[in-house]
Structure 1
C-alpha cells in the first residue's frame, strides 16, 4: 500500500510540473511573440483554392494567414475572409486585396497598393458598424490574376465562339477557291518578277543615276540662285536708286502741274463763261455779214455797180 501511494504521489507531482511547464511555455511564447491585427475582406468572386491557414502576402512579403472563410449572410454574393496580419505590416489607405491562384490549386491573398503618408485602415469611432460590419477593419478588394481571367471567362468564350463562326464562314468552299486563285496569281506574279529580275535591276540602276543627276542639278540651281542674289545685291542696286530718283522727279513735276492747273482754273472758268459766248455771237455776226456780202456780190454781178445806187428797173411791158 505504501509503495502504491508513493507512485501516485510521484505521478501527481510530475503531472503538476508538466502542466506548470506547459503554462510557462505558453506564457513565454505570448510574451515573446508579436501582436497581430485582424481584418475582414469581402470577395465578390470565387475563392476556390483558398482555405483556413492559407498565407497572406504584402507585395510578395509574407504578412500573415487566413483565419476563417465564410459566406456573408446579408449578401451571399460576397465571401468574407478574415485574415490575421503582423503588427508591423503597413495596412494604409489605398491597400487592396486580391486572390492569387496557382497551377497547384492553392491560392493566397495578396495585399498591395498602400499609399505613403495615408492613415492606416481602422474602424471609425462614430459609426463603426457602417464601415466595419463585423467589428474588424475592412480591406477593399480588386480583381486580379486568375480571378480576373475566371470572371471574364464567359465573355472570352462568347468572343471565341463568334470568332470561330466567322472563321468558319470565311473558310467556306467558295472562299477557299477564291483564296486558292489568289495564291495562284501570287505565284505567277512572283515568277514573273523573278524573270524580270535583271530588267528591274537595270531600272533601279538608271533610277539611281537619275537621282544623282537631279541632285547635281539641284546643287547647280542653288549656286545659280546665290549668283543671282549677288547680282541683284550689287548691280541692280544703283539702277533701283536711279529709278527712285526718277520717280521722285516725276512726283515733283506732277505736283507742279497740279499747282499750275489750280492757278489757271479761274481764268479757264472766265473763258468758258464769258469769252466763249462772245466768240459764238461774233461767229453768228460774221455769218450774217457774209450772207449780206454774198447778196451784194450777186446784185453787182447781175445789175452792175449802178444796181447798188438806183432802184432796179422794171421790165418793159409790151401789149399783145
Structure 2
C-alpha cells in the first residue's frame, strides 16, 4: 500500500509540474485563449524585410501579426499579405497599410493608419469574406523603389552639365586664340596717315634747283 501511495504522489507532483510549465509558457507568450481576431488581406508590390509573424501595428500600437505572405493568385506580380489583428481594432474603409522599418535592424512590420473617423468600418462581405486594406507606400519604400530612377536622372544631369561645360571651354579657347582673329582690311585713313608720315626724299625737285643755283658762279 505504501508503494502505491508513493507512486500516486509522484505522479501528482509530475502532473502539477507539467501544468505549471505549460501555464508559464502561456503567460510568457502572452496567449489569451478567449481573444478574438479579425483577418485582412493587403496587396503590396514589394515586401522587403517582411515575413510570417511580423508585427502589425495600428497607429504605432501592436495589435497583431502577419500570418501569411504569398504571391497573389491573380498572377499580377503583387504580394498578398494576410494579417491577424485584434477584433477591437477600428480598421476603416480609408485606412492605409504600409510596410515600415523598425530601426536599423532591417526588420519590417505592417503599419495600419486609423483613417478618418467618419469613414465606415471595414467589414467582410459575401464577395470578400476577408476584407482587403488599401496598400500604400512608406517613405523608406518610396526611396528604395525610386532610387534607380533618381540615380539615373542624377547621372544624366551630371553628364549634361559636363557636356555644357566642355562646350563653353572649347568656345572660349577658340575666341582667345590669335589665329582665330580675321585680318583687318586696309583702311584708307591708315594708308593716308602712313603716306604723310613718310619722310621726304633728299632728291626733292625744289631742293635740287636751289642747290644748283647756289653752285653756279
Counterpart in the other structure of 1:12: 11
The 3-state SS of whatever aligns with 1:64 is: strand
State which of 171, 175, 187 in structure 1 corresponds to 2:168. 175
Q: Normalising by structure 2, report the TM-score.
A: 0.63
State which of 144, 151, 154 in structure 2 corresponds to 1:157. 151
Counterpart in the other structure of 1:52: 52
After superposition, residues 236-251 of structure 1 pair within 5 angstroms as none
After superposition, residues 204-243 of structure 1 pair within 5 angstroms as none
Whole-angstrom distance in 2 between the partners of 1:179 and 1:58: 63
The 3-state SS of whatever aligns with 2:151 is: helix
Counterpart in the other structure of 1:256: none
8 Å Cα contact 2:90/2:114 also seen in 1: no
The 3-state SS of whatever aligns with 2:97 is: strand
Whole-angstrom distance in 2 between the partners of 1:106 and 1:52: 12
Whole-angstrom distance in 2 between the partners of 1:176 and 1:7: 103
After superposition, residues 104-143 of structure 1 pair within 5 angstroms as 104-124=105-125, 127-128=126-127, 132=128, 135-143=129-137
> 1:166 deviation in Å?
0.2
8 Å Cα contact 1:90/1:114 also seen in 2: no
After superposition, residues 288-307 of structure 1 pair within 5 angstroms as none
> 1:113 deviation in Å?
4.9
Relative to 1, partners in 2 of residues 1:103 and 1:176: Cα closer, same or farther, differing over 3 Å? farther
Task: Return the structure number with greater helix share.
Answer: 1
8 Å Cα contact 2:58/2:114 also seen in 1: no
8 Å Cα contact 2:91/2:114 also seen in 1: no
8 Å Cα contact 2:95/2:115 also seen in 1: yes
| Unaligned ranges ≥5, structure 2 | 174-217
The 3-state SS of whatever aligns with 1:160 is: helix
Counterpart in the other structure of 1:63: 63
Task: Return the structure number with greater strand share.
Answer: 2
Whole-angstrom distance in 2 between the partners of 1:116 and 1:37: 20
The 3-state SS of whatever aligns with 2:134 is: coil
Relative to 1, partners in 2 of residues 1:164 and 1:72: Cα closer, same or farther, differing over 3 Å? same
Q: Normalising by structure 1, report the TM-score.
A: 0.45
Counterpart in the other structure of 1:87: 87
> 1:68 deviation in Å?
2.7
Counterpart in the other structure of 1:278: none
Relative to 1, partners in 2 of residues 1:57 and 1:158: Cα closer, same or farther, differing over 3 Å? same
The 3-state SS of whatever aligns with 1:93 is: coil
Higher relative contact order (CA 8 A, sep 6+): 2
Question: What is the number of residues matched between the two proteins?
Answer: 170
